[in-house]
Amino acid sequence: MTQNEVTQPTLRHDWKAEEVEALFSLPFPELLFQAHSMHRQCFDPRKIQASTLLSIKTGACPEDCAYCPQSARHKTGLEVERLFDVEQVLASAKNAKDKGATRFCMGAGWRTPKEKDFVQVLDMVKAVKALGLETCITVGMLNEDQAQRLGEVGLDYYNHNLDSSPEFYKKIITTRTYQDRLDTLANIRKTDVKVCCGGIVGMGEAREDRVGLLLQLANLPTHPESVPINLLVKVKGTPLGEQSFPALPPIEFVRTIACARVMMPKSVVRLSAGREGMSEEMQAMCFFAGANSIFYGEKLLTTPNPDANEDIKLLESLGMVTEQLPGDVPQQAATTGA
């Protein structure tokens, strides 16, 4: 099959809650069939993009996100680290590239960056791009000027998650509104920088909140080019780490991945936090359901992540490979019938 013979799906931005609820409720084999069929229309199902995430400034964040150990309001024992210098970041980026990463992501625990720190972040982006890596950063809320300056230095992606549905969001964060997050996304969309935006599941939310999150993402004027789906990692000392609620069933997590693929067919769907607690079978099911990116490295900002060698072994056992995905959507579809 050639790319010209593949029928590209129509991108929708008018999803209704009842439609998404019906999608979630499909018999599992039917939902997986729809998601995998959609995945093959837009991507090579054998390829997984590998990214590495580095915390360039850790802790002392003034926000009160109930899941986050970086909040200054939570007593988690996290060691606070000042902003890295460019040389430190560059060394980590080179190491990540040597291990097979094609995108290098940088995160800082800020509400919004100060000017002197922001200038240093701009230098980091330029240095990492010079290595031939895709760049992604998350440094909090941005105004229009900051977004424009990131675009000028060639940033590829800006990560700013919505976290959950608007209704559940109010239960986990009080220091930043949902509209604040949407405003930052709108500022990024005024530039050439792509958007990386997803959320966290397994925080004790109901399915209707997972529906609400995907509804918000898919109904944005432009779908996020990258959609990270995080599974909560409970950290002792955070409000969610101290609460007792049932863990999200693995099948429900896979359903969330599958619905994200159906609703945002040309977006890269990334398995993010929480993979350390996922079985190989669960991850394989997520790949079949449309996830096509993972984070390499033993740590995601402050939480554990599988060793890169374990990921390589898993992908080899599945007959899959890590490869950089095309930078522009629509993505190249598979050219074989396999």
Active site residue 136: yes
Instruction: Of 247, 243, 268, 246, give the one whose Cα is nearest residue 257.
Output: 268
What is the C-alpha to C-alpha distance for residues 217 and 230, in angstroms, rounded to an integer?
A: 14
Active site residue 68: yes
Among 42, 103, 176, 196, the one annotated catalytic:
196
What is the C-alpha to C-alpha distance for residues 226 and 156, in angstroms, rounded to an integer?
A: 11
Instruction: Of 47, 11, 56, give the one whose Cα is nearest residue 220.
Output: 11
- Return the residue matching tokens 């998350």: 138
What is the C-alpha to C-alpha distance for residues 90 and 85, in angstroms, rounded to an integer?
A: 9
What is the C-alpha to C-alpha distance for residues 175 and 284, in angstroms, rounded to an integer?
A: 37
The CA-based angle 229-184-259, given to 5 degrees, is 25
Active site residue 286: no
What is the C-alpha to C-alpha distance for residues 119 and 86, in angstroms, rounded to an integer?
A: 11
Among 42, 68, 197, 286, the one annotated catalytic:
68
Element (H, E) at 90: helix 86-98
Among 197, 270, 275, 286, the one annotated catalytic:
270
Among 65, 197, 259, 286, the one annotated catalytic:
65
Among 42, 103, 105, 261, the one annotated catalytic:
105
**Can you say whether the dihedral through the CA atoms of 86, 176, 179, 114 is positive or negative?**
negative
CB-based contacts of 283, cutoff 8 Å, min separation 6: 271, 275, 314
Active site residue 42: no
Radius of gyration of the chain (CA): 19
Among 42, 61, 197, 259, the one annotated catalytic:
61
DSSP 70-83: TBTTS---PPPBPP
Instruction: Of 74, 55, 109, give the one whose Cα is nearest residue 240.
Output: 74
The CA-based angle 122-123-126, given to 5 degrees, is 90
Structure tokens at 114: 């100060």
Among 136, 197, 259, 286, the one annotated catalytic:
136
Instruction: Of 60, 48, 69, give the one whose Cα is nearest residue 319.
Output: 48
Active site residue 196: yes
CA torsion 261-262-267-268 (nearest 10°) is 10
Residues annotated as part of the active site: 61, 65, 68, 105, 136, 196, 270
